[in-house]
Homo-oligomer: A and B are copies of this chain.
Amino acid sequence: MGEKSVQKKRYIVEKARDVFMEKGFKKVTMKDIVEACDISRGGLYLYFESTSQIFMEVLRMESEEADDVFSDSITEDATAADILLLFLKEQKKELLRKKNTLTQATYEFYFENDLPKRDNILKKQFDSAVKIIEKLIEAGVDNGEFLCEDCEGTARNIMFVLEGLKISAQTIGVTAEAVDREILYLLRGLGVEE
């Protein structure tokens, strides 16, 4: 596959991404993507053979670009608490947005694709996030911002709460206030009074 093909593949994935944001995963047909890309039906099949394949590519590209959910938060003189807070705020913004998110599509995709662990990007992201949070907490404890006995457990707990909030946002609905309340609860657990 030449240079050109790579570009086209990328183009398709980007267009498809919009479609998945709009309609989730299951509802999306090859036809939808063909139309979004404005290419021929047969043309799409030269690059991908199913919506699943395309979606996996979307996820891969997404995870490459946003490999560093934290990177934005990390500045020269930001403290651990600053960074964690920024991360949580980012997550809040993301989970309150019902459209323009791949959340729903991603869940739907994983529902019907029991990927072996090593291919499960979602799991990788989860685990990596846990680790980073753990480091942050440890750093926070060191500089006196946080109090914490079981840093790893707390990091994992934070991630599961965020997952809980995310899925709740898509099903039972969550208000901005509800999210704030949970974030505050988590911070109090770290000994942050505010």
A150: Cβ under 8 A from any B Cβ:
yes
Tell whether, in the assembled complex, residue A185 and residue B111 are in contact, meaning their CB atoms are under 8 Å apart. Answer: no
Cα of A185 to Cα of B151 in the assembled complex, Å? 11
Interface of chain A: mostly helix, strand, loop or mixed: helix
Tell whether, in the assembled complex, residue B159 and residue A164 are in contact, meaning their CB atoms are under 8 Å apart. Answer: yes
Cα of A190 to Cα of B12 in the assembled complex, Å? 51
Which among A26, A156, A161, A171 has the greatest number of chain B C-beta atoms within 10 A? A171
A168: Cβ under 8 A from any B Cβ:
yes
Q: For residue A117, which residues in chain B have a CB less than 8 angstroms away from its CB?
A: 173
Residues of A at under 8 Å CB distance from B? 24, 26-27, 104, 106-108, 110-112, 117, 120, 122-123, 126, 150, 153-154, 156-157, 159-168, 170-173, 181-182, 185-186, 188-189
